Copies of this chain bind each other. A is one copy, B any other.
Amino acid sequence: MEGCRLGAACDFSRGMTMGGKEELLERLKKAEGHWVSGEMLSGKMSITRTAVWKYICKLRDEGYEIKSAPRKGYLLHRIPDRLLPREVRSGLGTKAFGQGEIIHFSETDSTNSRAKELAGQGIPEGTIVLAERQTGGRGRRGRSWFSPDGSGLYVSLILRPEVVPAEAPMITLMTAVAVCDALVPYLPLPPRVKWPNDILAGGRKIAGILTEISTEPDAIDYVVVGLGLNVNVPARQFPKGIRDKATSILVETGKTHSRAAILRSFLENLERSYALFREGRVPLVLDRWRSYAGISRQCVRVDQVGRVLTGEIQDIDEDGSLLLRDERGHLHHIVSGDVYYL
C-alpha cells in the first residue's frame, strides 16, 4: 500500500492484508466486552507481550477506549465515534461502494473537492472520502454547509456512470432516495425530499446533496456525489442564521446515533438505487422519490436566475426536472431553481 497522497490529516485505507494492530482489534472485538489476556494475545498472534502493548497504545491513540488490568489483560470498552475506514467497512453490505478505497480526514475544506481531485487522477468508482469536520463545506451553487466536528456525516462518493450529462439530475434524486431510506429507521416520521437536493425532517433541513460532474458534452468522466447529514448536532450548535431551518437526528429523536451505521445503510441503499439507474430502470427510482416527496398539488415559489415562478407542483419528469403549473395554467418544465413551499 502506498502512503497517503493527501496530507497529514488523512487516514488512507483499502482492503488489505490485516496488520498486527488490525488483528488485535478484531480479537478484542470478538471478546465482546470480556477481558482478553496479554499472554493469550501474544501467543495467538506470535508476537511479544511488548508488541501487544504497543498496538494497544496505537489503538488508544486512535480513540479506542481499552481498559487494562493486571492478571486480566485488556478489554475493549468503547469504539470511538470516528468514521475510521475499518469501522465503516465493518459489516458493510455493499459490492463496490466503500469496498475499495476509503479516505478519511480529521478535517478538510470539502470532501467533494478532495473527491474531485482524486477522480481527476483516475481513482475508480466506489471510492469514498470522509471527514470528521469540513472547514469549507459546500452546498449547491457555492452555498455553505455547516459541518461541525464529529457530529455530522460528510461523505463524497466517486461514480463513473456511462450516461450523457443530461441524465445527471437523476443521480441527485437517486441519492436523495438512498438518504431517505437510510433515515427512515431513525426518525419518528418519514423524511421528505425537497426538489432537487434537500432532505427535510419535521419541515427542517436535515441533509443536503451536492452533485458535481466532470464531463465531455456527450460522455461523463466522473460524478462526485456529496452528502452532508446532520446526525448528532444539538439544536443550540446550529448558527443563529439557520437554527430555525436546520435539524438533526439528535434534535428529532433526543438520542445520539452511530454515524458509521447510518453511513453503511446509506451506501447500501445508494448502491441499489444506482444499479436500477444503470439498468435504465429510472421509473422505479422516480416512484420511490415521489413516495418521499408527496409533491402533488403542493403550492410553491421557484426562484430561478432572472425570474420567479409560483404555482402547483404536478410531478417530476423522467429526466428529473420538476413539472409546475402556474396560476394561468401553463406547464413549466423546471431544470434549475430553488423551491420554497407556500
Measured CB to CB, the closest approach of chain B to A160, in angstroms, equals: 12
Question: What B residues does A285 contact at CB under 8 A?
Answer: none
Given the known interface contacts A164-B335, A164-B336, A336-B164, the answer about A169 and B218 at a Cβ–Cβ threshold of 8 Å is: yes
Interface membership of A214, Cβ < 8 A: yes
- Report whether A218 and B335 are in contact in the complex, using a CB–CB cutoff of 8 Å: yes
- Report whether B165 and A213 are in contact in the complex, using a CB–CB cutoff of 8 Å: yes
- Report whether A217 and B305 are in contact in the complex, using a CB–CB cutoff of 8 Å: no
Measured CB to CB, the closest approach of chain B to A191, in angstroms, equals: 21
What separation, in Å, do the CA atoms of A217 and B171 have in the docked complex? 9
Interface membership of A162, Cβ < 8 A: yes
What separation, in Å, do the CA atoms of A306 and B212 have in the docked complex? 26
Interface membership of A168, Cβ < 8 A: yes
Measured CB to CB, the closest approach of chain B to A288, in angstroms, equals: 18
Question: What B residues does A219 contact at CB under 8 A?
Answer: 141, 336
Question: What B residues does A216 contact at CB under 8 A?
Answer: 140-141, 210-213
Q: Is the interface of A mostly helix, strand, loop or mixed?
A: mixed
**Total identical chains:** 2
- Report whether B218 and A196 are in contact in the complex, using a CB–CB cutoff of 8 Å: yes
- Report whether A214 and B217 are in contact in the complex, using a CB–CB cutoff of 8 Å: no
Question: What B residues does A164 contact at CB under 8 A?
Answer: 335-336
What separation, in Å, do the CA atoms of A267 and B79 have in the docked complex? 60
- Report whether B214 and A320 are in contact in the complex, using a CB–CB cutoff of 8 Å: no
Interface membership of A215, Cβ < 8 A: yes
Partner of A336, one of B218, B335, B336: B218
- Report whether A212 and B213 are in contact in the complex, using a CB–CB cutoff of 8 Å: no
Question: What B residues does A172 contact at CB under 8 A?
Answer: 217
Interface membership of A166, Cβ < 8 A: yes
Question: What B residues does A336 contact at CB under 8 A?
Answer: 164, 218-219
Closest B residue by C-beta to A336? B218
What separation, in Å, do the CA atoms of A337 and B169 have in the docked complex? 22
- Report whether A217 and B168 are in contact in the complex, using a CB–CB cutoff of 8 Å: yes
A156-191 residues with Cβ-Cβ distance < 8 A to B are 162, 164-166, 168-169, 171-172
Question: What B residues does A168 contact at CB under 8 A?
Answer: 165, 215, 217
**Can you list 9 contacts pairing A with B, beta carbon distance less than 8 Å?**
A141-B216, A165-B166, A165-B168, A166-B335, A168-B217, A169-B218, A213-B213, A213-B217, A218-B337
